[in-house]
Structure 1
Amino acid sequence: MVDDEGTLTFDGLPPLREISWDEWLVALPLPALASLAADGQPPGTVEAYLSDLPGKGHPDPLMIEGCRWILNHDAEIERAVLTAILGDIDNLRAANDWLGEELDLWLPADGWDEPRARSAVSLTQIVPHAQPAAQPYYGLIFSAGWDEEHGYGLIMMGTEIVRSGGADTAVLAWIAKDHAEAKPVG
């Protein structure tokens, strides 16, 4: 399935580039989400990370379907993400009180407006999850000005925010699994 250049193709997606024996990257054309993206990504795109289905030589089909769904719902996702970021300020302040005097600089008590929220985080990667559901599960990894080490992350099902936290939240498949099984995740 992989060609001589290390790319893999699926209908409806740009080519997936193999980065190791079990990992793939694809630059998804997402103009709305790309407005939240970090510098250095091709204009209008956001990178998605997919892992190999063990022993199969390709990503899980649920991840491929998730990428297709994301492509078709770009603007809706971007709006849901901005709403989540704007509404998460109190949780972020509580989790980052270690910032001391810089807390109000990065996470003001009176909240953010949209331009300030856009400048505080940068979308670096989308991580589709292989969790069966009516709509796909995926994570969004952000760099965050207030915490360069841990960043900010979201797990979503469709346009629903499942959980927010540090950037690692976006890659934790158990959160998607627990949510899909209607178990509390936090």
Structure 2
Amino acid sequence: MTKQILDLTLDEFGYKGMINLPVWNEFTSNSDDVYEVNFGGDINSPLLSELRDTYDFIVSNQEEIKNVILQELFEEYSGFQAKYCDDEDDEFMPDLTCVNDLKPLISLARVHILDVIKDGIAYIGFEFDCSWDEEHGFGVMLFKNEVVAMGGSDSSFLSWIANDHLNESSDSN
């Protein structure tokens, strides 16, 4: 059953709406659990049925997706510290002891559903505000529950990243 996309609009940059993801409420001051969702990544594309199906996939699998993102960030965090911190006691990137230590450091800003599709599901991106890069933020691109890319916020919406992953996975088959 397709879930209704909240407040769907079309502007010069493509389709936008809102998505209800209460699993992220403890990582942000957003008390209503609703976040912006952009369709098409960095390309203005039509709202295909696969993009709607992906919206449903995100809502239905939000807990698993959250856990995958947080675990991958936790595992890669020391690399981000090395890149962004001048000293070990940086208040913006303190050392972590567990995944929950990420809660005060990131907050979900928006979700991207790209126009790159594999097996009926589009690649998805989660864009975050983060303590260590206020200008560029933090982004994660996934295919279903597999992390494809992680880095600045643009990692969450650049279609070429999804296309590269799609081509690599089809070359290996």
Fold match (TM-score > 0.5): yes
The alpha carbon displacement at 1:76 in A equals 0.6
**Normalised by the size of structure 1, how large is the TM-score?**
0.77
**Normalised by the size of structure 2, how large is the TM-score?**
0.82
Aligned-partner residue type, residue 47 of structure 1 = E
Q: Distance in 2 between matches of 1:131 and 1:164?
A: 17
The alpha carbon displacement at 1:101 in A equals 3.6
- Larger strand percent: 2
* Cα 1:102–1:143 shift into 2, 3 Å: farther
Residue 158 (str. 1) matches residue 144 (str. 2): yes
The match for 1:76 is 64
Q: Distance in 2 between matches of 1:32 and 1:66?
A: 17
Moved over 6 A (4+): none
Task: Please point out which of 113, 117, 142 is paired with 1:132.
Answer: 117
The alpha carbon displacement at 1:182 in A equals 1.0
Secondary structure of the structure 2 residue equivalent to 1:94? helix
Give 1 or 2 for the bigger CA radius of gyration: 1
1:30-179 equivalences under 5 Å are 30-36=21-27, 38-39=28-29, 41=30, 43-51=32-40, 52-53=44-45, 58-96=46-84, 99-101=85-87, 104-108=90-94, 110-134=95-119, 135-179=121-165
Secondary structure of the structure 1 residue equivalent to 2:112? strand
Structure with greater contact order relative to length (CA < 8 Å, sep ≥ 6): 2
Structure 2 gaps, min length 5: none
How much identity, in percent, do the aligned residues show? 21
- The alignment yields a C-alpha RMSD, in angstroms, of 2.4
